[in-house]
Amino acid sequence: MATVFIQKKKRKHRNSYVIMYKNPMTGKVKYYKTLQKQKDAQRAANDLRTLLDTGKLPSSIKAKHKVMAITFREIGHLLDQAWKQKVINSDLSPKTYEDYSLRLNLLYNIYGRMLLCEINKRQVLDYRNYLAKEISNATSNRYLFIIKQVFKQGMGEGAILEDPIEPIGYLSEKDHERNRYVLPDAIDTLIEASQQTRAKFYMPALILLGAEHGASRQEALNLKWGDIDFDFQGKGLINLFRNKNKKERTEYLMPRTKKALQDWKDHLEWMRRRKRIEVINPNTVFGRLNGTPLKRFDSAWRRICKIASIDDFHYHDLRHTFCSNLLLSGSDLKDVKEMIGHSDIAMTDRYSHITNLHKYYRQNKLAEHYANGNNQVGYT
């Protein structure tokens, strides 16, 4: 018969009854649960004894007791260390790690002090739905991904025996995809606005990389001077690499982008000579005078958009601007897919409505042609 016993603990106002048992496999004494009434404790002890006699263990209770001192934050720290190792092994980009770590630290404000075994499916579902309602499905999915990673790490550490949030699915982002774009005159306005900020020397190049080459923030900030050939066939060549899908694309430099990059490079070299600054990494395109790479330019971007009076416009929307204006200028969806570096044409389908607008322009041209036909000599 299984060994189960009850320990009576005397308290100031009332007693409590701690149920313990001997693990039949290891022989170690384990905690089961604590009850306030003796008769409830006796009943629970009898049930536990019956369970143990069948060869089973009280796994869920054992797991909860085992992780009493392991919090979401503690598991999160272990996960963060695993991410850092992946960065060292080149299995994770520094930018992706930075994004993951930022979201993990924000989640500490929600779950940090909670024991991992105490967080249930309903709590995570409510938080997922809250983010979707207040921000977007995409943001909700990104935070859900981090939570799932924490629980996966917790499983590996033995903090939980079962993952309660594994069944929670990601929300569809199809209806929440941003297709915000601007036409060429707005790009000119953004560049003019940048000249009224402290970022006036490098922001024109960043704006044009996004608008004329569809560069993402990560592609632009990771750019090296070795990726740019200003003299190639008299036009110039640029090589862009996107960590998100591991896609590399090489394009001719657009004239305005080429000039903006050359101007920025000339300014950097002049300032470094003038101030006699020792450069840490001279190959970094968008870096400080000492060569330290820029990590973000959010403040400069917000300031530029405010001066330009363009609301709700993200730097990433310049990629949408690039794709949309490609279609409006006569390219088709296949051209856009290849030039933007999408891995699947389904990703490019979000711009299909632009092709209809392009057809409208073509129809207007056709209408003008027919209207002018009355003044031309026809066949008889």
Asked if residues 214 and 323 have their Cβ atoms less than 8 Å apart, the reply is yes
CB atoms within 10 A of CB 303: 18
* Residue whose pair of structure tokens reads 């031309």 in the numeric block: 376
Give the phi and the psi of residue 269 in degrees, each rounded to 5.
-65, -40
Host H or E run for residue 248: strand 247-252
Q: What is the mean pLDDT of residues 180-197?
A: 94
Q: What is the DSSP string of 49-84?
A: HHHHHTT---HHHHHHHHTTT-BHHHHHHHHHHHHH
* Predicted confidence (pLDDT) at residue 315 exceeds the cutoff of 90: yes
The CA–CA distances, whole Å, from 58 to 23, 38, 61, 227 equal 10, 20, 6, 60
Q: What is the mean pLDDT of residues 14-24?
A: 83
Q: Each residue of 246-283: pLDDT tens digit?
A: 788 999 999 999 999 999 999 999 999 999 999 999 99
Q: Each residue of 160-181: pLDDT tens digit?
A: 878 889 999 998 876 556 678 8
